[in-house]
Structure 1
Amino acid sequence: MMDTQEPSASTQEISTAQVRAQSMPEPQGAAAAAKPPQIPLAPIKRVQARFNPLADGMLYLVVFLGGTLGTAMRYGLSFILPATAGTEGFWHAFHVPTFTANMAACFIFACLTSYLSQAAWIRKRVRELTSRGIGMGMCGGFSTLSALAIEELTTMQASLIAGAVFYLLVSFLMGLIVAYLGARLGLALAARKTAKAAIVAVRQQQPETWRHVTAGETVAMPETRGDDAVAAGVGMTGASGMSGNGSASLAGDVSGHIAHINPPSYEPAPITDEIPLTGDPTTGEAH
């Protein structure tokens, strides 16, 4: 028999300094100095809570007040106008107060919505409250679809089928027409306001180039370079338009050229924010 001996177990020890050196490497470069440079950290972006419209009490208030006003207006309209267009027969199915309230609400709501969509000069919060209060509240309380449905059922029970169908079709078709007209009016009003604001902005930038001119007046402008002049006909039209009379025209000789007016720039300002530096945790070098 041969004696077998097991190999001795390895008892090599690892010192704490070696473990620390392997897990935490020595800094190099600028980080190895006695006072390494401090790297400013990028500011943390502010986390804004998501806006919950159901938690906005002001919206509830303006809708409540607008709905109260619209309901009162429709109730008062029933006392001013006759209940139906006729006492009996075909026109007895046409309910005038409900039809008038629905058409007026469609027109007001479409006009208001189109105007506020272009009214950039009004604060966003004011536009929101106005749209909810007048549009959703007042127009919603002023118009009524439930009354229209009840009137249709009552008319059909009275065997006035033709009148009921006519009243329903006219209500929906006229609603679309008056809504279109209201939207066009709102856009026209907003465009007029925008044009006035643009004129005021140009006047503020170059006030010396603007003056009022009356019809029949001869205007002499200082001569400028050919590449900086605009057509005399365009300048005459703009000058007569500034006098408030669109049909007036300038008579007489115009000496020189009309100075060129640089249009205002609406391009946004360039972004010049610097990219923050990020430091390497091991070496301390900035990237």
Structure 2
Amino acid sequence: MKQIVLVFIGGGLGSVLRYWISKILNPYYSNFYLGTFLVNIIGCLLIGLLLGITIKNDLLSQNQTLLLATGFCGGFTTFSTFALEGHSLLKESTLLHFSVYTIGSIVIGILAVSLGLWISKLL
């Protein structure tokens, strides 16, 4: 039960922060969801750092990893919103905007996880 509560708390905090960032940044860019894009990239970098540090140094306990990686990062990042916004761009914008958002999110997200893991090796 404790593990469920930790994921719940982390997920709630991550979701609120994601909502706040997207609410602030998304309205300023009509053809690109910058808030969601940044949240997903930052979340990828953060999960790479957290898990890399945990693997290397055994720094975080299982409960801390559940709170931060599963809970916070899981709540902070969002695949469903990414998919919905991609659909909106495809329907209402140009193929170029859709392609940059979609391919950029995936490629830069994977690079951010890799960067986080790489940085964790240096710490």
Residue 80 in structure 1 maps to residue 24 in structure 2: yes
CA RMSD of aligned residues (A): 1.5
Q: Which has the higher helix share?
A: 2
In structure 1, what is the equivalent of residue 98 of structure 2? 164
Matched, 1:177 2:77: no
Matched, 1:105 2:39: no
TM-score, normalization: structure 2? 0.92
Q: Deviations over 1:194-225 (max 9, x none)?
A: xxxxxxxxxxxxxxxxxxxxxxxxxxxxxxxx
- The correspondence of residues 188-207 of structure 1 with structure 2, limited to 5 A, is 188-189=122-123
Report the structure number with the largest CA radius of gyration: 1
Deviation at 1:186, TM superposition (A): 1.3
Q: 1:140 aligns with which of 56, 74, 98?
A: 74
- Deviations 1:29-56 (CA, angstroms, capped at 9, x unpaired): xxxxxxxxxxxxxxxxxxxxxxxxxxxx
1:42-61 → structure 2 map (5 Å cutoff): 57-61=1-5
Residues 1:69 and 2:69 are matched in the alignment: no
Higher relative contact order (CA 8 A, sep 6+): 2
* Gaps in structure 1 of 5+ consecutive residues: 1-56, 190-287
TM-score of the superposition, structure 1-length normalised? 0.41
**What is the distance in 1 between the residues matched to 2:28 and 2:82?**
13
8 Å CA contact retained: 2:26, 2:36: no
Which deviations, in whole Å up to 9, do the C-alpha atoms of 1:7-31 show, x marking residues without a partner?
Answer: xxxxxxxxxxxxxxxxxxxxxxxxx
Match of 1:129 among 52, 57, 63: 63
**Letter matched to residue 3 of structure 2:** L
- AA paired with 1:146? S
Displacement of 1:159 in angstroms is: 4.6
Which deviations, in whole Å up to 9, do the C-alpha atoms of 1:213-272 show, x marking residues without a partner?
A: xxxxxxxxxxxxxxxxxxxxxxxxxxxxxxxxxxxxxxxxxxxxxxxxxxxxxxxxxxxx
Mind listing any 5+ residue stretches in structure 2 that lack a counterpart?
Answer: none
1:159–1:100: structure 2 CA closer, same or farther, 3 Å change rule?
closer
Task: Give the distance between the partners of 1:155 and 1:82, measured in 2 at CA.
Answer: 13
Residue type at the aligned position of 1:66: G
Matched pairs, number: 123
